[in-house]
Chains A and B, each alone.
Chain A
Amino acid sequence: MRNRSPRAYLASTAALLIVLFYALIPVLWLLSLSFKTPATVSDRKFIPQDVTFENYTSLFAGGLDSALLRPLINSISIALIATVIAVTLAAFTAYAIARLDFPGKTVILAGALAIAMFPPISVVGPLFDMWRTLGLYDTYVGLIIPYLTFALPLAIYTLVAFFREIPWELEQAAQVDGATPWQAFRKIILPLAAPGVFTAAILVFIFAWNDFVFAITLTSSDSARTVPAALAFFTGDSQFTAPTGNIAAAAILVTIPIIVFVLIFQRRIVAGLTAGAVKG
C-alpha cells in the first residue's frame, strides 16, 4: 500500500515539520517570554537577549503568600484527590457494566453520555448558591465534587472499553489451579486492568487540571483557587507593569506536567480518548 519513493519521504518530512511548528509555536513563545527581563519583554524576539530566572523566582517569593505557591498546591491536591475518587467510583461502575448482567445498564451509559454533553455554566449559579449555604464555597471539596461529576463519564467510558477486553475466565482458571480469590484478583485481574485504570486517571487529571469555569466561580481566595483561576487574576508588581513575564513563567510551570504526561503516556491517552468513539 505505502509507496516508499523519495517523494513520499519528502512529503512525510514536510508534514512532520508543519505539525511540529503548529503545535509548538505558542508554547515556545511563552517559554521565550518567561525568560525575558522587563526591559526586553517587548522586543518581539524569539530568543531572549538577556536570560533571567527572575520571572520564576518572584512567583514563589514570600512562600505561602506568594503569587503561585498556594494555587499550585491547590491545583495539584484537588486534581489528585478528584482523580483518585473519580477513577475508583468509575472502576466500580465499569466493572458492573462490563461483567454483570442487570437492567439499567444502558440507562447508566446514556446518562453518563448526557452528562458529558452537559454545559457546566448551567450549574454554576445553583452550585454557587448551594455551596455558600453549605459552607463549601471556596473549599477543596467545593471544587472536587463538580470535577468528579464531569470527569466520571469520561472515566466510565474509558474503563468499560478496557474492562470488556479483559479475559475474565482467567480468574476462574487461576482459582481452579488453587489460587485464592484474592490471589486470583491480585495476580491475574489487577495487572490486566491496570493500564485501563491508569489511562482513565490521566484523562481525569488533565480534565481537573484544566478547568477554569468552576475554579473562578466557586472560589474567592487563594485558599482553594487553582492555577488557571489564579493566572486570570495575576497583577504586576505595580499597576504600571504588566505581569507578562510572570504569567508566562507560571503558564510554563503548569504546562510541564502535561508535557511529561504526554511524553510518557501518549499511547494510553490516545487509546483512552478514542475508546468510546470507535464503537459509536
Chain B
Amino acid sequence: MTAVPAGRKASRKRGGPAKTSDRTKAERKLAYMLCAPAVIVMLLVTVYPILYAIALSVQRVDLRFPEESGFVGLDNYVAVLSSPLWWQDVFNTTLITVVSVSIELVLGLALALIMHRALFGRGLIRTSVLIPYGIVTVVAAFAWFFAFDPSSGFVNSLPFIGEDKSWFGDRGSAFSVIIMTEVWKTTPFMALLLLAGLATIDEGLYEAAKVDGANAWQRFVKITLPLLKPALLVALLFRTLDAFRVFDSIFIMTRGSQDTESVSILAYNQLISRLNLGLGSAVSVLIFIIVLLIAFAFVRGLGTAVPASQGEKK
C-alpha cells in the first residue's frame, strides 16, 4: 500500500509540474473506469475463492455430515501432509511434469527449428501443429485412450508390441500413455513460442559465425541457445505450471487407478466425490502454494536472464 504514493511522488518529480493537472486526473479516472470491470471479475474468481479456500481448510466441513462442522485449526493440513497418498500424488504429478516438459522442450525446439528453416510447406506445418493445440484435451485423451486400448486400439497390432498388452493395467505403461498424450497436445504451444523467439534472432550473427568457421552445432550452441533463453524460460514456465495441473487426461484414461493419481485428481475426489470441503480445500491450498513456489523460482530465473541479454545489446 505504501509503495503506490512513493511511486507517484517519484514520477511527479520526473514529470516536472508538481500538481496533477485536470487533464491527467480525467485520464486516470477514465483508465480506472475502463479497467475496473476486468479487474473485478479477475479478483472475484481468484482472490476471494482462494481466501475462502483457506478459511474452509481450517474447518471441518463435510457436506455429508453438515452438523459436525467447526474450526479445527491445522488438523486438515496435518491429515493431508501425513498421508502417504498425498506424497504419492505429489511424486506422480512431479514425474509427469518433469518428464513431459523435458520431452516437449526437445521436440518443441526441433519443431521450431524445422518451421524456421523449412523451404516450403510452412503453412501446412503450422496448420497441422495447431490442431493438437486447439483440440479439446478430453478429446485428445480419448483419442490416445482408444489408440492404446487393447480391445479397440491399433497400437497393439503394431510390430514388437504384445497383441494383448494392457496399457492401462500397470503403472509404468499407464504413465507412458498419459505423458505421451500431454506431449502430443502441448508440444505445438512450446514450438510456436520458441519459433517466435527464433524469429527475433538476427540472421547476420549466423553469417558472421559461418565466416569465422563455426559449424552448425557451434552456431546452435553459441548463438541460438543463448539468444533463445528468455523465450525458452517463458515457454518452460507456462508449460511447467500447466503440466502440474494435469487433470483431464488422467481423469479420462485411468481416473487415478494403478497409482496414476495427480494432486488435482486428489483435490477433485475430496471436494466433489466425497464432498469433504475442509480436507479438499487443504489440498487445494497446498497445490496453490506449490504453484506459487514454481512460479517464483522461474520468475527469479527470468529476472537474471533478461538483464543479461539487455546488457549484451548495450
Contact = CB atoms under 8 A, between A and B. Distances in A.
B44 interface: yes
Interface string A250-280: 0100110011011100100110011001101
Contact of B39 (A23, A93, A119): A93
B134 A206 contact: yes
B125 A121 contact: no
Contacts of B53: 122-123, 125-126
A44 B49 contact: no
Contact of A122 (B143, B189, B237, B285): B285
Contacts of A261: 134
Contacts of A156: 38
A100 interface: yes
A173 interface: no
Residues of B in contact with A, size category: 35 or more
B123 interface: yes
A114 B196 CA distance: 22
Nearest to B29: A102
Interface in A218-252: 227-228, 231-232, 242, 244, 247-248, 251
Contact of B142 (A114, A213, A248): A248
Residues of A in contact with B, size category: 35 or more
B267 A121 contact: yes
Interface string B204-244: 00110000000000000000000000110011011001001
Contacts of A120: 245
Interface of B: 4, 7-8, 11, 24, 27-28, 30-32, 34-35, 37-39, 41-42, 44-46, 48-50, 52-53, 56, 111, 114, 117-121, 123-140, 142-144, 146-147, 151-154, 156-157, 184, 188-189, 192-193, 195-197, 199-200, 203, 206-207, 230-231, 234-235, 237-238, 241, 244-245, 247-248, 251-252, 263-264, 267-268, 271-272, 277, 280-281, 284-285, 287-288, 291, 295, 302, 306
Interface of A: 1-2, 4, 8-9, 12-13, 15-16, 19-20, 22-27, 29-30, 33, 41-42, 44-46, 89-90, 92-93, 95-97, 100-104, 108, 111-112, 114-130, 145-146, 148-150, 152-153, 156, 206, 209-210, 212-213, 216-217, 227-228, 231-232, 242, 244, 247-248, 251, 254-255, 258-259, 261-263, 266, 269-270, 273-274, 277-278, 280
